[in-house]
A and B are shown apart, each in its own frame.
Chain A
Amino acid sequence: MRPLSIRVRRAAVVERRVRGRGAWLKLATGYLLTLPAILYILLLVGYPFLLSLYFSVNRVFIGGEYQGFVGAGNFTGLLDNPVFQRAFWNTLGFTFFSEIAKAVLGIGLAFLLLQPLFGKKIVRAFLMLPFTLPFALSLLGWQWMYDPEFSIINYLFGHELHWFQQPYPDWLGDPFWSYLAILIVNIWRGFPFAGVIILAGLTSIPGDLLDAAKVDGAGFFRTWHYVITPIIAPILFIGLIYDVTFTIGDLTAVYRLTQGGPGYATETLPMEAWQVGIVGGNLGQGSAITLALFPFLLIGVVIFLRMLYRRESL
């Protein structure tokens, strides 16, 4: 510790450095330190994105074969392509139905996690397993559970409980059941996340805020409208957007379980992009397919931003 007089003088120097001469230096350092992060993202997210825009209006094939500009050709070709239509509606369907189911299961889970439970930390860790396990690996387990011969689901609900009649569902080989199979793994993977997000929403309301509303004479509906919704809604929306972007762009489940089949019953946009772009080597057409996801992501980002700012301003 230096003598007080020196410390006071140093404090004045520091004050001046922060306010005056050092300010531009600080600014330059600030930008310089941020630059690597910005560059990395520009090069590995920004540039590939622009490249995919470029691919989508050209005939480009793997190996760098470039066969000229086609304008909107890659997109117009998609619109009356039944496989693309199927993939498009399946992608939306999987996302929509699984989000509803995740919300329902998530609400239950959130209220469960609100309760005092014995060994709650460990219980929660088990409950979170579907979300914390790498999806590509847990799907191997599901593949085994959906096995046409040894499906444990069929054994349980058919052989043991007699809810299913013979012939038992061919989970990955029948159009209806395979659609359901993909839906189920999506729900299974996402409901713990929905649960913790809803829990975060529920616990984000300060108790004294509710008391204050009560003292001010607000009834249930006013409290709901002016106190609860503005706090919870942004959190739920943010969680929803995050999960939607994950589900809508997910290749893993369909690739692992059905490859889009049988026929095109479970074809999704990511799966079709993979087949056209990587397997078929048609990067132009493939990029056009992935870009069909973009409007949804853009809407997601806009809502995300609005909610983020709304949360901040509270």
Chain B
Amino acid sequence: MSVTVPAIRQNRPGPRRISNRALLYLALVFYLTIAVFPLYWMMMAAFKSDTDLIDTSVSPFWFRRPLTLTHFDQLFLHTNFMTWYWNTYVIAAFVLLITLAICVPAAYALARLHVPGGEKIAIGLFMTYLVPPTLLFLPLSQVISGGLGLGNNKWALVLVYPSFTIPFCLWLLIGFFKRVPLEIEEAALVDGCNRVQAVIRVVLPVSVPGILTTAIFAFTLAQQDFVYALTFTSSSSQQLLNVGIPASLIRGDIYFWGELMAAALMAGIPVAILYNVFLDYFVEGITGGALRG
């Protein structure tokens, strides 16, 4: 039966398929190298001893003297690293709470209550996400330190960060709420709930995954900022990781490379992991998936 021959041939890896596969993995190695090498290089600096770090007689890609945790010790014992970590997470947590408190009701209203002009409001608010901090940091510095007396105060950041978390989180939440079937809310109304009860007992529990996702995003986004933190905080005790690490570990021309890299890794990797969890929603949010619901 000659009919079955093509099928068999397809299953056998021909030379062309093998070379395609090789090409694919070559490309993969190329991209992985570009993406991960700086991180590997940071890790080497973080764990190598200082003498090993500047020893040019051996290949810098690997280590000769035993790896050490000295840089980490230095970081915890002789810098404000824990303070910056605490500041960063506390600020991010408050930003998350403010963002949710403002966005959940607004998103519900814009997704469900058929407010006239609701879509225009949603899009208008989302567009402010495209206004970069660079355009606002000068006037805001005046408002924060002049008007509100919050100069060199980390709490100023709690106030400012929602200005970029709200637009995107609102947008995402609208998308999530639109996906909750209208029928279950109506069913709750029919069963004797009023609208508030229906929202609290039926709509919100169903939306928990969406709300959690948004919360993660607000939390992550608050840790990505550099410009506002640089503008509004100057003393070490008020700083967040992104600003405190270089401010304290680069003294004039002296760079404490080992400590810098150790700190950057410990600060950055948790954010990278959280952001990665969120990435698909981020892309969908940007490309307008939220509008279609």
Q: A30-B118, A33-B106, A127-B35 in contact; A40/B132 too (CB < 8 A)?
A: no
Contact B242 A134 (CB under 8 A): yes
Q: Please tell me if the beta carbons of B138 and A140 are within 8 angstroms of each other in the complex.
A: no
Task: Establish whether residues A27 and B138, one from each chain, have CB atoms under 8 Å apart when the complex forms.
Answer: no
B35, chain A: closest CB distance, angstroms: 5
Which single member of B53, B103, B134, B195 contacts A293 (CB below 8 Å)? Answer: B134
User: Once the chains bind, are B113 and A41 in contact (CB under 8 Å)?
Assistant: no
Given contacts A144-B45, A304-B127, contact A138 B268 (CB under 8 A): yes
One of B142, B167, B189, B245 near A140 (C-beta < 8 A): B245
Residues of B within 8 A of A215 (CB): none
Q: Does A70 contact B (CB under 8 A)?
A: no
Q: How far is the CA of A45 from the CA of B115 in the complex (A)?
A: 23
Scoring A residues 108 to 126 as 1 if CB is less than 8 Å from chain B, else 0, what string do you get? 1100100101000001111
Q: Which B residues are CB-close (under 8 A) to A197? A: 283, 286-287
- The residues in A between 168 and 215 inclusive whose CB is less than 8 angstroms from any CB of B are 188, 191-192, 196-197, 200, 204
Asked whether B264 lies within 8 Å of A30 as measured between CB atoms, the reply is no
Q: Which of A239-297 contact B (CB under 8 A)?
A: 239, 241-242, 245-246, 248-252, 255-256, 269-270, 273-274, 277-278, 283, 286-287, 290-291, 293-294, 297
Q: A152 an interface residue at 8 Å Cβ cutoff?
A: yes
Q: Which residues from chain B contact A133 at a C-beta distance below 8 Å?
A: 39, 268-269, 271-272
Chain A interface size, under 10 / 10 to 19 / 20 to 34 / 35 or more = 35 or more
Q: Which residues of B contact A124 (CB under 8 A)?
A: 276
In this assembly, does A87 line the interface, its C-beta being within 8 Å of a C-beta of chain B? no
A256 in contact with B246 (CB, 8 Å): yes
Nearest A residue to B198 via CB reads A14
User: When the two chains form their complex, are residues A286 and B138 in contact, meaning their CB atoms are under 8 A apart?
Assistant: yes
A90-146 at interface with B (beta carbon < 8 Å): 105, 108-109, 112, 115, 117, 123-138, 140-145
Query: Chain B, 154-190, contact with A by CB distance < 8 Å: what is the 0/1 string?
Result: 0000011011001100100000000000000010011
Interface flag for A29 (CB, 8 Å): yes
The contact of B261 among A112, A141, A278, by CB within 8 Å, is: A141
A241 touches B139 (CB 8 A): no
Interface stretch, picked from B24-32, B64-72, B204-212, is B24-32
Selected from A26, A40, A308, the residue in CB contact (under 8 A) with B163 is A40
* Complex: A196 Cα to B223 Cα, angstroms: 22
Complex interface: chain A residues within 8 A of B286 (CB):
197, 238-239, 242
Q: Does A11 contact B (CB under 8 A)?
A: yes
List CB contacts (< 8 Å) of A22-61 with chain B.
Answer: 26-27, 29-34, 36-38, 40-41, 44-45, 47-49, 51-52, 55, 60
* A residues less than 8 Å from B5 (CB atoms): none
Contact of A305 with B by CB under 8 A = yes
Chain A CB within 8 A of B202 CB: no
1/0 contact string of B213-232 vs chain A (CB within 8 Å): 00000000001101100110
Q: Tell whether, in the assembled complex, residue A141 and residue B226 are in contact, meaning their CB atoms are under 8 Å apart.
A: no
* Distance (whole angstroms) from the CB of B258 to the closest CB of chain A: 10
CB of A153 to closest CB in B, whole Å: 10
- A138→B243 contact, CB < 8 A: no
Q: Tell me, rounded to whole Å, the shortest Cβ–Cβ distance linking A50 to chain B.
A: 8
Among B36, B60, B109, B223, the residue within 8 A (CB) of A152 is: B60
Cβ A134 vs Cβ B109 within 8 A: no
Question: Does A62 contact B141, Cβ atoms closer than 8 Å?
Answer: yes
Docked pose: A128 CA to B275 CA in angstroms:
9
Whether the pair B264, A49 counts as a contact (CB closer than 8 A) is no
B223-260 residues with Cβ-Cβ distance < 8 A to A are 223-224, 226-227, 230-231, 241-243, 245-246, 255, 257, 260
Given contacts A40-B162, A126-B35, A129-B39, contact A134 B288 (CB under 8 A): no
Q: In the complex, are the beta carbons of B190 and A7 less than 8 A apart? A: yes
In angstroms, Cα B123 to Cα A301, docked, is 11
CB < 8 Å neighbour of A252 from B105, B226, B267: B226
Does B82 belong to the interface (CB within 8 Å)?
no
14 additional A-B pairs beyond A55-B138, A145-B41, A293-B135, beta carbons within 8 Å, are A33-B106, A37-B166, A45-B128, A49-B139, A52-B138, A62-B141, A127-B35, A134-B241, A150-B54, A150-B56, A239-B286, A255-B230, A297-B135, A312-B288
> Which 3 residue pairs spanning A and B have beta carbons closest together?
A249-B132, A30-B113, A51-B139
Binding site for B on A (CB under 8 A): 1-2, 7, 10-11, 14, 26-27, 29-34, 36-38, 40-41, 44-45, 47-49, 51-52, 55, 60, 62-64, 105, 108-109, 112, 115, 117, 123-138, 140-145, 147, 149-150, 152, 155, 188, 191-192, 196-197, 200, 204, 234-235, 238-239, 241-242, 245-246, 248-252, 255-256, 269-270, 273-274, 277-278, 283, 286-287, 290-291, 293-294, 297, 300-301, 304-305, 307-308, 311-312
Give me 16 A-to-B residue pairs in the complex whose CB atoms sit less than 8 angstroms apart, sorted by A's number.
Answer: A2-B192, A26-B195, A30-B109, A34-B121, A37-B103, A44-B159, A52-B139, A55-B139, A55-B142, A112-B27, A125-B273, A133-B268, A133-B271, A142-B38, A150-B54, A251-B227
